[in-house]
Amino acid sequence: MIELLRKIFGGKGQKEETRKNSITGRNQTFPVPYLSRLDGLQLLPGQSLIIRGIVCASELNPGHEQVLINLTGGPKVEKEGEDDELDDRLLSLRADLRKRRIHINACVQGQWGKEGIVKKGWKTGEEFHIRVRCHDQEFGIYLDHKLVAKFAHYVPISHITHLYINGDVALYGVSWEGKYYQVPYTADIPGNFYPQRKLFFSGFLKKKAKQITVDLFADKDIALRIQSRIGERKVIRNTRTDSNWGQDEADILCSFPLKRGKEFDMIIFCGDTEFQIYVNDVFVCNYAHRLPSPSINRVNIEGDLEVHGVHLK
């Protein structure tokens, strides 16, 4: 009977199906080992590293899968001889998936600091989402959208020049983005929001959040309002034309996607006839255009959240 009820109503903690397409970016692949230089860039407080992928079975040591993520002060990330010295690892995350532990540390001039351990892991075949957000004095480390640790800087983040990822993973997303944003946040949309463009934004929902609102303006009209009402567990969409609101739409194709005290990613994709809305790569709902999408020229985000990143593609 319990199993039947789970099939009908869904089990507790059941994961929603993510979409693997060009909208979510999950159709991409990155080489592993992965080494990238932050060319011409200097990390600033408010910026985030986002890593997305899938845990793979280890070919060399099955059952002992590991993942390594290092923010380094140079390109020397692997030893070629026993006497080789690696560049400083200003933040090192090592996931021991068999023991379900994440080890957090830093190594400066060959000396390791005090290690922190977080109980967390993934099974072979599971997707993961890791975000490292830089602050003035520390890193904020998010695993699957939950803040799990804060790790103080041993040296200024401006010393970080490279990102290195290795281990039993397939990568489909690696990016740096963001800054500190004021809320409400408003910005013009260069070239307007024509079909095939997408707006990506990430944020952190406050622990006592009641609602967040995203408005896509077409001059004084609002072509699309997405209002997530946390207490009601509803995602309301509507359009305002000449100061008049149309009919609300509230149906969604998944469970309510936002959780208080957790970080999230939202994508608004502009199709030829409708908007498609995703949260954490799960398709939430669509909304047919009521105004021509190329007339959309401004975005506004407000409510009970911190905005971590906003960009257009």
pLDDT at 131: 95
Per DSSP, helices labelled H in the chain are 2-9
Residue-by-residue pLDDT tens, the chain, 313 positions = 433 443 344 444 456 677 666 677 766 788 999 999 986 667 889 999 999 999 998 877 777 789 999 999 999 998 777 777 899 999 999 999 889 999 999 999 999 999 999 999 899 999 999 999 999 999 999 999 999 999 999 999 999 999 999 999 999 999 888 999 999 999 999 999 999 999 999 999 999 999 999 999 999 999 999 999 999 999 999 999 999 999 999 999 999 999 999 999 999 999 999 999 999 999 999 999 999 999 999 999 999 999 999 999 8
Query: Does residue 20 lie within any of the structural domains?
Result: no
Nearest to 89 by CA among 170, 161, 3: 161
Looking at residue 56, what is its pLDDT? 93
The reported pLDDT for the residue numbered 159 is: 92
Residue 75 inside a domain? The answer is: yes
Q: What are the phi and psi torsion angles at 256 (to 5°)?
A: -55, 125
Claim to verify: residue 161 and residue 239 sit in the same structural domain: no
Instruction: Enter the DSSP assignment of 42.
Output: -
Cα separation of 35 and 32, whole Å? 8
Contact between 149 and 117 under an 8 Å Cβ cutoff? The reply is no
Domain boundary among 177, 198, 227: 177
pLDDT, position 10: 43
Q: Among 147, 176, 180, 146, which Cα is nearest to 160's?
A: 176
Q: What is the pLDDT at residue 83?
A: 72
The answer to the question of residue 255 being in a domain is: yes
254 within a domain of the structure (yes/no):
yes
Distances (CA, A) of 204 to 27, 79, 94, 201, 209: 26, 38, 25, 11, 10
Q: Please tell me the distance from the alpha carbon of residue 115 to that of residue 111, in angstroms, as a whole number.
A: 12
Instruction: Determine the pLDDT at residue 43.
Output: 83
Cα 21 from Cα 28, distance rounded (Å): 9
> Is the same domain home to 147 and 274?
no
Domain identity same for 214 and 263? yes
- Does 139 lie in the same domain as 48? yes
Measure the CA–CA gap between 178 and 160, rounded to whole angstroms: 17
**Pair (135, 239) in one structural domain:** no
In contact, 254 and 16? CB cutoff 8 Å: yes
We report the CATH number of the domain holding residue 268 as 2.60.120.200
pLDDT of residue 15: 61
Last residue of a domain, one of 177, 195, 220: 177
Q: Which domain holds residue 275?
A: 185-312
| 171/193 same-domain check | no
Q: What's the pLDDT at 38?
A: 82
Residues 37, 158, single domain; the answer is: yes
User: Is the separation of the CB atoms in 284 and 253 below 8 Å?
Assistant: yes
Residue 206, classed as helix, strand or coil, is coil
Q: 191 and 165: one domain?
A: no
295 and 256 part of one domain: yes
Q: Which domain-ending residue is among 116, 145, 177?
A: 177
Same domain for 254 and 162 = no
Number of domains into which the chain is organized: 2
What pLDDT is attached to residue 62?
Answer: 75
